[in-house]
Amino acid sequence: MSGELLIEIGCEEMPASWLPRLTRDLARQLQQRLTEGRVVASAPSACSTPRRLVVAVAGVAERQEALEELVTGPPVSAGYTPDGTPTKAAAGFARKHGVEVSALVEVDTPKGRYLAHQRHQAGLPTIEVLPAVLAATLRDLAFPKQMQWDAQLDDGKGELPFGRPIRWLVFLLDGQIVPFTIGRTSAAEGADVAVVEASNVTFGHRFLGSDPGEPVTVHSIADHRAALAERYVVLERDARLEQIRTALVALAEEHGGAVDLASPTLAALVEEVPDLVEYPMVVAGGFDEAFLELPGEVLATTMIHHQHFFPVAARQNGLAPTFLAVTNTAPENAERVSRNAERVLAARLRDARFFWEADRKVPLESRFERLATVLFHKRLGSYREKSDRMEELVGWIARDVLDRDDARADARSAARLAKADLATEMVGEFAELQGVMGGIYAREQQLPEPVWQAIYHHYLPVSPEPTAAPAKADLGAGAVTWAAVALADKLDTIVGLFRAGERPTGSRDPFGLRRQAHGVFKVLIDLPELTGLSSRPSLGALLSAADKPFKTEDPEKEIEVGAELLGFMLERLQYVLEQRGHDIRNVRAVVGAMGTNVIPLDALRKLEVLPEFTESAEFRQLAVAFKRVRNIARELPVEEFESAEATGGELGLSLQEPAEKELLKEIETRQPVFDAALATGKDFRRGFAEAAKFGPAVDRFFTDVFVMVDDPVVRTARLRLMKRLERVILQLGDISEIVADAEG
Amino acid sequence: MTLQDLIATLSGYWASRGCLIHQPLDLEIGAGTMHPETFLRVLGPSPWRVAYVQPSRRPADGRFGENPNRLFKHHQFQVILKPAPDRSQQLYLESLEACGIDCGAHDVRFEEDNWESPTLGAWGIGWQVMLDGQEITQFTYFQQAGGQVLSPISTEITYGLERIAMLLQRVDNVFDLEWAPGVKYGAVRQQEEVEQSKYVFGQVDLAPIEFAKFHRDLFDRYHAFATMLLDSRLVLPALDYCLKCSHVFNVLDASSGVGVTERTAYILRVRQLAVAIARAYTGAAAEDVDE
């Protein structure tokens, strides 16, 4: 180890949301490219501000590692004539590597004995290797959206698109400038468009300091840090974040309020602001108390989403007429900046108040017709049509799925009005308030709580974690109606868009259908906690009800769409259950074989007890045997099995061997226990325990009995036995999955 | 600084930076980008530097002259620098200084905001420039216009003149701005805002259905005429009629005469025209226009 490496890519303001990922990628890609370039180096550490991506490596070898490589040539047999003279092949190979044939070695390979050349390539000085390392690293960086800026590299790959234009480049190995140039395309190059040459010159904050915009020369990593620190650049994101947090909390207190930076509404903002500034300075401002009559959600959205301002909670409850803004300027400007920010916010709040007042003049119900002009999807019609479908579906869900006929009328009203706020001025301006705004307007109109709560929360949940919003306490009297409307909305969207041919593929999921499916399963598996209900809806019933309005006369299409949809939903259910920490093999066992009959809540309950069994020898023995059971049972098609069961007489009479009689007895005695355990969905532990007891009988059966005998009567009887056993155990799941390879 | 001083200052500043000072397009349009001095000049290889004021009509933003911040028509100061100079951002910041804004005394930031115009088949990468939390400028590196990938890249700077003047004059209501010494913005423009808002929101002595029909007919006739002009190889007149389509569509949209599906179809028709015009201008080989 000898030198230190410093790279600073000075750029125009990079989008804040890209920086964390970009910073990690820069360190990782540089490390990988150094390794590929055979340069031994300590781990790179990267940091960034909106105007610079910096990566430093404390220890870099002076020279590239030498390359030792064995290059194989022709087989020995083809290298020499019988009298030992080298052939043309051997001579050619030697010449290609600049050595005599006598210098070649012989190596044994799986294909035989070959001639080979031991190649040595001395390492180059690191400074000669670094330009290619940086070129590759620049190309490696991926941006959510990249731009052309008339730049190119002479690495043979032409133009160099980037996230934002690069304006300077510090590239120093142990204080020495590494020669590197970013060229410009001939279309642009000229007096005002020049190449970017690597140098030892950086720039401080754009506006602050005694000589903003003046270049400053640096010679080392430490030098660079010090120079930037003096010039109002806090290079470490963590340091900026900490300064911001401290100032926010202190200022809120100073103004008689508080900011809860961990709250879901502020957490994302607090993670964003450090990447918007080089020198964070927090200012406080106020607004007219009269604006506090606006709903808190509207105030917060105006401040957070439109201005990146932090609302301040009042001591008592609600919001204080105060906001905090993270700026990129010096403390002496605080007063001026704050006054201007107050004027901007006041203008925004006046707009919001205008919408608030205008919207409330018209009841939500009367906006329903306007929804006919708001398109949901070109093949599925307007939101008006979607609302009609949701209203039908939600009524069925309330009565037949959740068993709450009493909630049906409210659920229907909520579903009918759920999308009405799309036609309000407020949602036109603040799209992120959809649902919430409808809920608030419904509340203002004195609609019953189960109705407005369901509207308010119906876009939730948007993620599957147990802690994802809404919490039971948030739902008040609207828990049941919310569950019904949320399910109806999401199921209608998923089924409808599958029908419209918008099925997600690979990384493409423009309508967020995966997220919608996660929402469906979150509602279904957390139903008891969120609503106190004990119903256990099956996936198939929900899908087929949601699909009713879209049915066609084309049986082939029906089968195709049905299979696609079911496959998608089962895959999403497995994902959600795996996210909850369950072993993928167990998840496959309880979901995979179930098909449309899967009850998501039962699947979760099974997974909670299944690990108690998967390590027991008895259960694993059964799992292995069950695979055989399933394979053999496949020999008897379902229709034949059913007709044999119906007309083939008492199974016991057709069985002869003791082992098979014993297995039948086991099934007959244990079946009632299973049925009882499974019917309530409450005692899967007992179910698995019972299943484990089948092990010895099944093993004995396979040892003593040959199923596929020539006698068709005996064979069918034995297959019936296998099929019955399969059916009993499949109620728990395909337990053969638990002994499958993890990769499956 | 009055509004007219601001315009004079920016014009002087950009003239001294090598820009030709052009005049507004004499048609109803929604943004300075639609002016041929931007839309056509950014195409192809020839360098160009131009600046001009463009009155910009946004029917949906009409508020009957009652809203202190929203206008049916506002004024943009548009600058095109082609190719995009390395010092684009500095040039812009120096123009603010020229207008009397001390950037070091404010919180001036470039916040991600990529610009896109579906009707023009154009998009760019850039920022909204924020001054103490107020958006004052859209700053864009054009990437595509009329469906064509651009080389070289142009810098487009679009100042919101009313916003900047309000900031300089410290007024909270646009109608209180001083346009010229002793003459308020309201005295110059309020009646226009009231009447134009009434028009675009259909408050006229004509049934809504007739109002919509009139504009739909206009759109179709302008569209057909633009196509004819293009077939006659008259690129600039064709662009005029394409922009007339765009404006008529905006009026229809504001007066709620357009459903969402239909909306998409209208935008597509304008884009197809814009793409064909751009292609005729550069003589580019015919390519398939994506939807």
Pairwise pLDDT comparison (A693 vs A526), residue with the higher score: A526
Size of the A and B interface in Cβ pairs below 8 Å = 126
- A389 in the same domain as A274: no
- A582 and A530 inside one domain: yes
- Nearest chain A residue to B66 by CA distance is A354
| A358: chain B residues, CB-CB within 8 Å | none
Structure tokens, A140: 């490696």
Spatial separation of the C-alpha atoms in residues A480 and A629, rounded to whole Å: 43
Backbone angles phi, psi at B93, to 5 degrees: -65, -35
pLDDT in tens, chain B (291 residues): 999 999 999 999 999 999 999 999 999 999 999 999 999 999 999 999 999 999 999 998 999 999 898 999 999 999 999 999 999 999 999 999 999 999 999 999 999 999 999 899 999 999 999 999 999 999 999 999 999 999 999 999 999 999 999 999 999 999 999 999 999 999 999 999 999 999 999 899 999 889 989 999 999 999 999 999 999 999 999 999 999 999 999 999 888 767 666 777 899 999 999 999 999 999 864 444 443
Does A456 map to a domain?
Answer: yes
* Per-residue pLDDT, A82: 85
Structure confidence at residue A616 as a pLDDT band (50, 70, 90): confident
Q: Domain extents for chain B?
A: 3-200, 208-282
Nearest by CB to A337, from B107, B141, B256: name it. B107
Bond prior to B237 in cis (omega within 30° of 0): no
Given an 8 Å threshold on Cβ–Cβ distance, is A309 in contact with B103?
no
Q: How many domains does chain A have?
A: 5
Say whether residue A159 is in contact with chain B using an 8 A CB cutoff.
no
User: Which of A561, A591, A621 is the endpoint of a domain?
Assistant: A591
- Residue A49 located in a structural domain: yes
Note which residues in 166-225 of chain B have CB less than 8 A from chain A. 167, 172
Q: Answer whether A190 sits within 8 Å of B105, measured CB to CB.
A: no
- Taking alpha carbons only, the member of B239, B123, B106 closest to residue B170 is B106
Instruction: Quote the pLDDT of residue A23.
Output: 98
Nearest to A714 by CA among A655, A663, A658: A655
- A422 contacts chain B (CB < 8 A): no
Q: How many residues are listed for chain B in this entry?
A: 291
Mean pLDDT for the stretch of residues A319-323: 95
For residue A594, what are the contacts with CB-CB under 8 A and spacing of at least 6? A570, A603, A733
Comparing CB atoms, the residue among B84, B89, B261 nearest residue A375 is B261
For residues A699 and A645, is the Cβ–Cβ distance under 8 A? Answer: no
Do A242 and A156 sit in the same domain of this protein?
no
The CATH number covering residue A693 comes to 1.10.730
Alpha carbon A109 to chain centroid, angstroms: 46
What is the rounded CA–CA span in Å between residue A705 and residue B179? 101
Q: Measured over all CA atoms, what is the biggest interatomic distance in chain A, rounded to whole angstroms?
A: 107
Contact B68 A192 (CB under 8 A): no
In this structure, the answer to whether residues A30 and A150 fall within a common structural domain is yes
Q: In Å, how far is A467's CA from the nearest CA of chain B?
A: 32
Please state whether A170 falls in left (phi above 0), alpha (psi between -120 and 50) or beta: beta
SS3 B256: coil
Residue B287, pLDDT score: 46
Query: Is there a domain that residue A650 lies in?
Result: yes
Q: Which of A275, A304, A329, A377 would you mutate first to test chain B, the one with the most B CBs within 10 A?
A: A329
Q: Give the start-end residues of each E strand in A93-248.
A: 105-109, 112-121, 151-153, 158-159, 166-173, 176-177, 181-184, 196-199, 201-202, 216-217
pLDDT of A741 > 60? The answer is no
CB contact under 8 A, A351 and B107: no
Alpha-carbon distance B53 to nearest alpha carbon in chain A (angstroms)? 24
Interface of A with B in 651-680 (CB under 8 A): none
- B258, B266 in Cβ contact below 8 A? yes
Rounded CA separation A147/A169 (Å): 18
A24-33 long-range contacts, CB within 8 A, separation 24+? A25/A140, A25/A141, A25/A142, A26/A53, A26/A55, A26/A137, A26/A141, A27/A55, A29/A136, A29/A137, A29/A140, A29/A141, A30/A55, A30/A57, A30/A133, A30/A137, A32/A140, A33/A133, A33/A136, A33/A137, A33/A140
End-to-end distance of chain A based on CA atoms, in angstroms? 45
Would you say how long chain A is, in residues? 744
The tokens of B127 are what?
Answer: 């920022």
A694-732 pLDDT, tens digit per residue, is 888 898 999 998 888 888 888 888 999 999 999 889 988
What confidence tens digit (pLDDT) does each residue in A386-412 have? Answer: 999 999 999 999 999 999 999 999 999
Domain boundary among A360, A390, A407: A360
Nearest to A193 among B85, B134, B151 (CB): B85
Closest chain A C-alpha to B19 CA, distance in angstroms: 14
Task: Decide if A195 touches B, using CB distance below 8 A.
Answer: no
Q: What is the pLDDT of residues A406-433, one digit of tens each?
A: 999 999 999 999 999 999 989 988 888 9
Chain A interface test: which of B42, B94, B107 (most A C-beta within 10 Å) = B107
Closest CB from B70, B152, B259 relative to A373: B259
Q: β-strand A196-199 against A166-173: which pairing, if any?
A: parallel
- Report the amino acid identity of residue A516: Q
Nearest chain B alpha carbon to A192: B85
- The answer to the question of residue A602 being in a domain is no
Nearest to A716 by CA among A635, A658, A639: A635
User: Contact B261/A188, CB-based, under 8 Å?
Assistant: no
Residue A91, exposed/middle/buried by CB under 10 A (0-12, 13-18, 19+)? middle
CB contact (8 A) between residue B133 and residue A344: yes
Q: Please answer whether residues A430 and A353 qualify as being in contact, where contact means their C-beta atoms are separated by less than 8 angstroms.
A: no
Q: What is the mean pLDDT of chain A?
A: 92
- Class of B208-282 in CATH: mainly alpha
Contacts by residues A355-361 (CB-CB < 8 Å, ≥ 24 positions apart): A355/A424, A355/A425, A355/A426, A355/A428, A355/A429, A356/A294, A356/A295, A356/A298, A356/A426, A358/A425, A359/A424, A359/A425, A359/A426, A359/A437, A359/A441, A360/A441, A360/A444
| A450 and A541 fall within a common domain | yes
At A537, list the tokens.
């809806």
| Pair (A140, A113) in one structural domain | no
Q: Got the DSSP string for A73-108?
A: EEEHHHHB-TTS-B-HHHHHHHHHTTS-GGG-EEEE
The more confident residue out of A113 and B287 is: A113
Q: Give every CB contact of residue A84 below 8 A, 6+ residues apart in sequence.
A: none
By CA distance, what is A343's nearest residue in B?
A: B172
pLDDT, residue B289, reads 42
Question: Can you tell me the distance from the alpha carbon of A453 to that of A457, in angstroms, rounded to the nearest whole number?
Answer: 6
Domain membership of residue A279 as a residue range: 237-360
Across the interface, of B68, B141, B260, the residue whose CB is closest to A350 is B68
- What are the residues whose beta carbons fall under 8 Å from the beta carbon of A181, sequence distance 6 or more? A154, A195, A196, A197, A198
Spatial separation of the C-alpha atoms in residues A500 and A154, rounded to whole Å: 47
Q: Among A230, A248, A265, which residue terminates a domain?
A: A230
Q: Which residue is closest to B124 within chain A, CA to CA?
A: A147
In the block, which residue shows the tokens 């015919």? B286
Q: From residue A409, how far is each of A23, A414, A445 by CA, in Å?
A: 53, 9, 17
B83 vs A336: CB contact, 8 Å cut-off? no
Q: What is the pLDDT of residue B259?
A: 66
Name the pLDDT band for A315 (thresholds 50, 70, 90).
confident
Contact B105 A185 (CB under 8 A): no
Say which CATH architecture domain B3-200 belongs to.
Answer: 2-Layer Sandwich (3.30)
What residue spans of A255-407 are helical by DSSP H?
Answer: 264-272, 296-301, 307, 334-360, 383-396
Q: Do B68 and A17 touch (CB under 8 A)?
A: no
- Residue B105 CA neighbour count, 13 Å, CB half: 9
Chain A contact probe: residue of B46, B49, B86, B143 with most A CBs at under 10 A: B86
Q: Judge contact between B189 and B81, C-beta under 8 A.
A: no
Taking alpha carbons only, the member of A480, A486, A473 closest to residue A410 is: A480
pLDDT tens by residue, A169-223: 999 999 999 999 999 999 999 999 999 999 999 999 999 998 898 999 999 999 9
Nearest CA in chain A to B149: A148
Contact A375 B109 (CB under 8 A): no
Residues A299 and A409 in one domain: no
Answer yes or no: do B68 and A16 touch at CB < 8 A: no
Task: Provide CB contacts within 8 A for A449, sequence distance 6+.
Answer: A443, A476, A477, A478
pLDDT at A284 over 80: yes
Beta bridge partners of A217: A201
| CB contact B67 to A (< 8 Å) | yes
Closest CA to B77 of B189, B169, B156: B156
Its sign, for the CA torsion A636, A639, A642, A648, is: negative
pLDDT at A511: 87
Cα separation of B233 and B227, whole Å?
10
> Is the Cβ pair B111, A13 closer than 8 Å?
yes
Q: Are residues A495 and A536 in the same domain?
A: yes
Please judge whether A185 and B87 are an interchain contact, meaning their C-beta atoms are less than 8 angstroms apart: no
Residue type, A472: K
Q: Residue B111 is nearest to which of A276, A345, A354, comparing CB atoms? A: A276
Q: What percent of chain A has pLDDT over 70?
A: 99
Say whether both A660 and A578 belong to one domain: no
Helix (H, G, I), strand (E, B) or coil at A586: helix
Assess if residue A605 is contained within a domain.
Answer: no
Which positions in chain B touch A375 (Cβ < 8 Å)?
259-261, 264
The answer to whether residues A336 and A405 belong to one domain is no
Please tell me the distance from the alpha carbon of residue B167 to that of residue B120, in angstroms, as a whole number. Answer: 31
For chain B, give the percent of residues with pLDDT over 90.
86
| Cα–Cα dist A265/A170, whole Å | 39
Q: Does A54 contact B at CB distance below 8 Å?
A: no
Q: Do B172 and A345 touch (CB under 8 A)?
A: no
Q: Which of A52, A418, A93 is nearest to A216 (CA)?
A: A52
Chain B contact probe: residue of A195, A328, A373 with most B CBs at under 10 A: A373
Q: Which of B110, B132, B259 sits opposite A340 (nearest CB)?
A: B132
From the list A192, A336, A373, which residue is nearest B106 (CB)? A336
ipTM of the complex: 0.94
Contact assignment for A188 to B83 by CB distance below 8 Å: yes
B259 CB near a chain A CB, below 8 Å? Answer: yes
**CB-based contact B152 A309, cutoff 8 Å:** no
Q: Does B268 touch chain A (CB under 8 A)?
A: no
- With CA atoms as reference, the chain A residue closest to B130 would be A307
Please provide the DSSP assignment of A636-656 as one string.
S-HHHHHHHHHHS--HHHH--
Chain A residues with beta carbon closer than 8 angstroms to that of B83: 150, 187-188, 190, 192-193
Best of A146, A184, A333, A344 to mutate (most B CBs within 10 Å, chain B) = A344
pLDDT of residue A472: 93
Residues A436, A308, single domain; the answer is no
Q: How many CB atoms are closer than 10 A to CB B55?
A: 16
Chain A within 8 Å of B102 (Cβ-Cβ)?
no
Q: Are residues A95 and A131 in the same domain?
A: no
Q: Do A333 and B133 touch (CB under 8 A)?
A: no
CB B124, CB B141: distance < 8 Å? yes
Taking alpha carbons only, the member of A172, A171, A198 closest to residue A183 is: A198
